[in-house]
């Protein structure tokens, strides 16, 4: 029989353990962040690719803008102009006068015209209504909404701005839907000119403006010009867009789902490149329209070129959606020892681009202990390295033998001294 004190002691201990476990469980979850849930790619912050330089030099069609040509006469006339000392006779200002004028000009307040207040939230609602009307095919109503939004944006933003260009693209689409093709071409050309003067134009806006310009040319039955403009969008994509960026994280999601037991659907989730990468979707549409335009123009070579370019673009996209940056190890039909977290592994295109080949011009000797003659300075020797060159293979045995002989000589000398001392002591006795 257990005593009452023992039972009471054990109950109190269990109660204390329960309280400790409950408090530990309560402090385990700190609600300092959003609850964990399934995140779709539409909820992620997608970095927009921008063109760093002026993209006008990439385009073959120049989108109808006049190109200034420098003639030989102008070059000769500019080179023949000379500056003589007699040209400075009329200017009698001294250095002090020039300094005084500069200071007086600097003290004058700058006439900065403040921009009017524009309720951008309401303007965005008007623009969104125009987008819905465009999707519904109601071009005239969309044109009215876009006109109001365009006037408000021109008052709110400077002349060269991404928002102005985006609005002009939408305006061009609505104008084309209502049959005003000349105005649509003018609006798309104005959008491209604006984007060419913006410091960091978005590639998505450039490609969409080229698509609208080509559609307007196609509506005017200018098939050859439309095909050239459609092909220009591919040149912009190849120059300023990272085609593997959209699926850099997504392409591993199928690999981390191992078996077909519980969450079988997660293994077959497909993230469409047409939703994750709008630049790719627009250029794909543009190349499809380019093939159609060249067919109507009777240009078989252009149609073949557009079709091959579209095929190549699609293959590049799908190749970047696959993940070959790991070693496949199959054990009883299960992919074992895979990382369960997403990472920024290089895509297949990056692997092919940056993997050194047999004919590489540069070899990295920093991880080696030896190098050819003349390249010894490229070797960085680690803490445990012994030599810099391939010396005598028996050098370690020789070194060990020398050390052993030295120790034996030291021991022999000690023993001889010790015995000599013992002999002297024995003689004295």
pLDDT at residue 113, rounded to an integer = 76
C-alpha distances (whole Å) from 104 to each of 98, 99, 100, 311 are 10, 9, 6, 65
SS3 string of 32-65? CCCCCCCCCHHHCCCCCCECCCCHHHHCCCHHHC
DSSP assignment, residue 367? T
The encoded tokens of residue 375 equal: 């390249």
Query: Do 379 and 284 meet the contact criterion of CB atoms below 8 Å apart?
Result: no
pLDDT at residue 67, rounded to an integer = 43
The H or E element spanning position 391 is none
C-alpha distances (whole Å) from 300 to each of 288, 291, 304, 305 are 14, 9, 6, 9
Query: What is the dihedral sign for C-alpha 361, 365, 368, 371?
Result: positive
- Using DSSP, state whether 4 is helix, strand or coil: helix
pLDDT at residue 223, rounded to an integer = 97
Per-residue pLDDT of the chain (429 residues; tens, 9 = 90+): 556 666 555 555 554 545 444 444 544 555 555 555 666 655 666 778 888 767 777 777 655 444 444 444 554 554 455 555 555 555 555 566 667 777 777 777 666 678 889 999 999 999 999 999 999 999 999 999 999 999 999 999 999 999 999 999 999 999 999 999 999 999 999 999 999 999 889 999 999 999 999 999 999 999 999 999 999 999 999 999 999 888 877 776 666 666 677 777 777 778 889 988 999 999 999 999 999 999 999 999 999 999 999 999 999 998 888 765 454 454 445 555 555 555 666 777 777 777 766 666 778 888 887 788 888 888 887 766 665 566 677 888 999 999 999 999 999 999 998 888 888 888 876
pLDDT at residue 80, rounded to an integer = 53
Q: Which residues of 201-227 are buried (b: 16+ CB within 10 A; e: fewer)?
A: bbbbbbbbbbbbbbbbbbbeebbbbbb
For the chain, the first-to-last Cα distance in angstroms comes to 85
Domain limits of the chain?
50-60+116-241, 244-358
CA 136, 142, 143: angle at the middle one, nearest 5? Answer: 145
Which of 51, 19, 327 shows the shortest CA–CA distance to 197? Answer: 51
**What CATH superfamily is the domain 50-60+116-241?**
Tetratricopeptide repeat domain (1.25.40.10)
């Amino acid at each position: 029989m257990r005593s009452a004190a023992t039972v009471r002691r054990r109950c109190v201990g269990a109660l204390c353990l329960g309280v400790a476990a409950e408090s530990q469980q309560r402090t385990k979850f700190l609600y300092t962040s959003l609850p964990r849930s399934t995140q779709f790619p539409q909820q992620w912050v997608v970095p927009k690719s921008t063109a760093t330089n002026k993209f006008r030099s990439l385009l073959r069609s120049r989108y109808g803008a006049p190109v200034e040509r420098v003639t030989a006469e102008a070059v000769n006339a500019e080179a023949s102009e000379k500056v003589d000392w007699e040209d400075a006779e009329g200017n009698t200002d001294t250095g002090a006068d020039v300094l005084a004028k500069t200071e007086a000009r600097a003290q004058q307040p700058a006439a900065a015209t403040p921009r009017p207040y524009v309720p951008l939230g309401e303007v965005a609602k008007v623009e969104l209504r125009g987008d819905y009307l465009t999707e519904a095919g109601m071009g005239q109503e969309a044109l009215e909404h876009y006109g109001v939004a365009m006037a408000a944006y021109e008052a709110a933003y400077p002349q060269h701005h991404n928002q102005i260009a985006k609005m002009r693209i939408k305006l061009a689409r609505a104008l084309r839907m209502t049959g005003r093709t000349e105005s649509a071409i003018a609006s798309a050309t104005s959008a491209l000119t604006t984007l060419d003067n913006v410091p960091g134009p978005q590639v998505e806006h450039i490609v969409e403006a080229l698509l609208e310009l080509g559609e307007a040319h196609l509506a005017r039955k200018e098939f050859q010009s439309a095909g050239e403009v459609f092909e220009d969008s591919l040149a912009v994509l190849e120059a300023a867009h990272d085609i593997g960026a959209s699926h850099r994280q997504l392409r591993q999601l199928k690999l981390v789902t191992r078996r077909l037991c519980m969450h079988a659907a997660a293994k077959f989730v497909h993230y469409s490149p047409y939703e994750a990468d709008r630049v790719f979707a627009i250029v794909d549409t543009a190349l499809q329209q380019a093939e159609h335009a060249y067919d109507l123009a009777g240009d078989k070579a252009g149609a073949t070129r557009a079709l091959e370019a579209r095929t190549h673009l699609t293959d590049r996209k799908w190749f970047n959606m696959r993940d070959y940056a790991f070693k496949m190890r199959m054990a009883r039909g299960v992919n074992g020892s895979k990382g369960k977290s997403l990472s920024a592994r290089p895509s297949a295109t990056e692997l092919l681009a940056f993997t050194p080949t047999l004919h590489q011009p540069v070899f990295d000797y920093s991880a080696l202990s030896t190098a050819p003659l003349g390249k010894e300075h490229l070797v960085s020797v680690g803490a445990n390295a012994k030599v810099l060159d391939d010396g005598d293979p028996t050098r370690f045995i020789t070194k060990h033998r020398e050390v052993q002989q030295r120790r034996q000589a030291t021991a022999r000398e000690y023993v001889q001294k010790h015995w000599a001392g013992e002999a002297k002591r024995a003689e004295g006795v």
